[in-house]
Each structure stands twice: as structure tokens, then as C-alpha cells.
Structure 1
Amino acid sequence: MFAAAIFDMDGLLIDSERPIMAAWIEAAHTLDIELSHSQYLQVVGLSTVESEQILASLLGGPEAYRHAIEHVRRYLQLERADGSPLFPIKPGAAEFLSALRERGIRCAVASSSTRRQIEACLGSLGLLHHFSAFAGGDEVARAKPDPALYLLAAERLGVAPADCIAFEDSENGARSALAAGLRVVVVPDLKHPTEAITGQAFHVLESLHDAVPHLPHWFPPAPAEKLA
């Protein structure tokens, strides 16, 4: 059994990858460039620096990239017409986090987003209280797939990496967790990880809904006071 759970955020807890992809495709249209889904998927799971380099190349250079990212920022600041969040909670995420909380399992987030972005996003969705620790991309020198984010998250939880399960949607995220010594549950989002990664995964699930039945096997039962 495991003592803690560490989660990626984008594409795993929140459905952010699709709106962000839509924003970049629309930004490319303003430059009279057709940016396809498959082209955009090249940057999913990469660091900010790597993503910038690829997108600048696809859009025609640094100046075009600067124009596009300003459009993306404006797009992502707009609220949906019906008042719903731009980045909704992924299916099963709230249910699974609540179940972990009931069992007294400590949880953390290890995300390439900044610490401020993590707390703002999860706070706006009412999920922040489920987490005891956070590790943001602005707090480490090297991004995923380097293990630094997961090592920092485990350290802040006070739990050995080997005693944690990581939940990831991207290949680079899974590589990061594996390199840090965690077991990894892969829940693919826009881009399915390669067989090399899924072959090393503890489990591969369709959604976090599917993780709930595994709780009794992965995590110890709640202390007696939790059951009272």
C-alpha cells in the first residue's frame, strides 16, 4: 500500500489542454496560418521553453509567436458565456480526491504551471483543500521529464517517493515521476503516451472515475476517527 498521492494538474485534474489548444489554433488563424491538432500536440507535456521553440517554428518565427501568445492570453481571460469555468474539473477528479480525503491520504500537486497558477486554478474550482503540498514549475530548475518536481512534492509531503503514487496524463510527466521513484498511474488526455511508458505504468485508466475502485488496494484504510 501507498502513503500519499501526487497529481499533475493540466489535463489530469482540470480540462485545460483543449481550451489552450483551441486558443493557439485561433491565434494561428489571425496570422493566416493553419495550425492542426497534430501539430499542436507536439508541445503537450513539454516545458515552456521547449513549447515556445516549437510553436515559434510552426508560426513563422519569434515575432509571430509574440503576436500569437498575446492573442492566447486574451482568449483565456474570457469567461464562457454560460458562466462555467474555462478549465472545468476532469471527470472523476473531485470524486477521487474526496475519497482520498476520507481515507486520510495526503495529496500533493506537481505541475509545470507556476505555484501561483496552481493555487489560483484549483482554488477557483473548490479543489485546493484536498492538497497538503504543491510543487510548481517555477520552483525547480528543470522541468518534466526531470524528476525535480516530483521529488520536491514528495519532500513537502514528508513521504518517500517510493511510498507515493503519481497520477499523470502526459508522457513527460510519467517519465518525471518514474525517474523520481514513484509508481505511476497514467490517465491519458489529448495525447496517449507511448507503449514504452504505459508498459512501465502501475496502471493505465480511462479516467479518475476508474481509480476509485482501486482505493482499498492502493491506500490504507482511514484512521478510526475518520470513520466515526
Structure 2
Amino acid sequence: MIRTVIFDMDGVLVDTEPLHHDAFFRHFAELGLPISDTEYATFLGSSTTNMYQRLKQEYGLTQEVPDLVRRKRELFGVAFEANTTLALLPGARELVLDLHQAGVPLQLASSASHETINRVFTRFELYPYFDNRVSGEDFPQSKPNPAIFLHAAELAGTAPAHCLVIEDSANGVTAAKRAGMYCIGYRSEHSTGQDLHHANFVVSDLGQLSAARILALAAE
């Protein structure tokens, strides 16, 4: 029986990925890094810190990881504040409200920083609907490591087997399954190329989901 639902943020609630992509590639250009879109796709679902740890090792960067992270977040913050068209993904608010009204506790477990999570939750007034917001920056290893989901379950006071995760990235789906949780994969136009076959169920539109549907799926 599902007793709490855990949402990823980027690519599930809101599509900030183009802003992250732009910030990363502006920074890559500053650093002179020849990162391809194919290589970049392998980082999706990972924390910014883990991403720069890998890049520092692979490309011999001399800058310290915290400084690299800080610069990328500066570039993202400028892009976020300047963007006036950013909106929640279709069906996201309706699903959150439906689950909340059904009395299903909601948690957020995102690889994004606390700063980015707060930007999104403030702009779209999501604070009242989520009991806890967990950031990947608080963990040594990000998704596909299951630690972030296990911590969200602990904060919710719910056993992992009674948690359901909604994810759009291969790393996120793998993390959820490693945590022993039911996982719905969200394959949207924003998550092309992501392997979601490990998910228990996959949708291409959040409108396919509702509180009743989610609880019924997990009971099958």
C-alpha cells in the first residue's frame, strides 16, 4: 500500500533543464571543455557537485569543485530570474493538488540545490503541498545512488516499500528501484533518450495520472 509519493523536480514538476543546459554549456565554454550533448545526457539526474567531481577528474580541471559549482549556479540564477515564460509542466499542478486533496503525503527528492528548489517552490507556490524537500547537494553521491530517496522516506516516516516515486531520468529510476520503491517513469519531450525501462510503469503525460490511478497501480 502506498503511503507517500516522492516527486523528482526537474523534468517532472517543471522543465528547468533548458536553463541548466544553457548555464552548464556557458560554463563549459569558459572552462574550454569539449562536452558533447551525448556526454551531458549521462549526467542528468546527478547532482551538480557530483557532475563537477567527474569533470575535474576526467579533464584535469585545476579549479576546486565548490568554485565550479558556485559559478554554474550563478549562471543558472541569472537565467532563471530573467525567464518569464517558465511554467509547471502540463498536468503537474493538477496531480499535486489531487494527491494532496486525497490526503497522500508528498515529498520532493531532487538532485537540484536547495537554492534552485527554493526558487521553483517560491515562484510556483508549492510549499503548502510538500511535507519535505530533499536536495541532492546534501549527499556524497547522487542518483543513481538511492540515498536521497531513502532519506525522503525516513523523513516521511514511511517504509520504502510503501513509497512511490515519479521520475523522468534513468539515474532517478535506478535510484528509486535500488531504494526498494515503486517507480512511475515519466517519458516526456523533455526526457528524450532516457532509459526508463526499469520503472514499474511509464507514462508520457502527467494527465494519465491521478491519486486514484496511482494508488490503484501500486496495488496491482
TM-score normalized by the length of structure 2: 0.79
Map 1:3-82 to 2 at 5 A: 3-30=3-30, 35-56=35-56, 61-63=61-63, 72-78=72-78
- In the other structure, the counterpart of 1:219 is 215
Shift of 1:123: 2.2
Shift of 1:185: 0.5
CA distance in 2, matches of 1:166, 1:109: 9
RMSD: 3.1
Of residues 149-158 and 55-64 in structure 1, the stretch that sits farther from structure 2 once superposed is 55-64
> Gaps spanning 5+ residues in structure 1: where?
221-228
CA distance in 1, matches of 2:45, 2:178: 16
Of residues 182-191 and 48-57 in structure 1, the stretch that sits farther from structure 2 once superposed is 48-57
CA distance in 2, matches of 1:219, 1:151: 20
- In the other structure, the counterpart of 1:146 is 145
Q: Rate the CA distance shift 1:208–1:165 in 2: closer, same or farther, 3 A.
A: same
**Is 1:210 aligned to residue 211 of structure 2?**
no
TM-score normalized by the length of structure 1: 0.77
- In the other structure, the counterpart of 2:194 is 193
The 8 Å contact of residues 6 and 109 in structure 1, kept in 2 or not, is answered as: yes
Map 1:152-191 to 2 at 5 A: 152-188=151-187, 189-191=190-192
Q: Rate the CA distance shift 1:33–1:217 in 2: closer, same or farther, 3 A.
A: closer
Shift of 1:62: 3.5
SS in 2 for 1:219: helix
Shift of 1:83: 5.7
Q: What percentage of residue pairs aligned between the two structures are identical?
A: 27
- In the other structure, the counterpart of 1:135 is 134
Shift of 1:120: 3.7
SS in 2 for 1:186: strand
Q: Rate the CA distance shift 1:63–1:11 in 2: closer, same or farther, 3 A.
A: same
- How many pairs were matched up? 214
CA distance in 2, matches of 1:37, 1:142: 22
CA distance in 2, matches of 1:29, 1:80: 19
Shift of 1:15: 0.9
Bigger Rg over Cα: 1
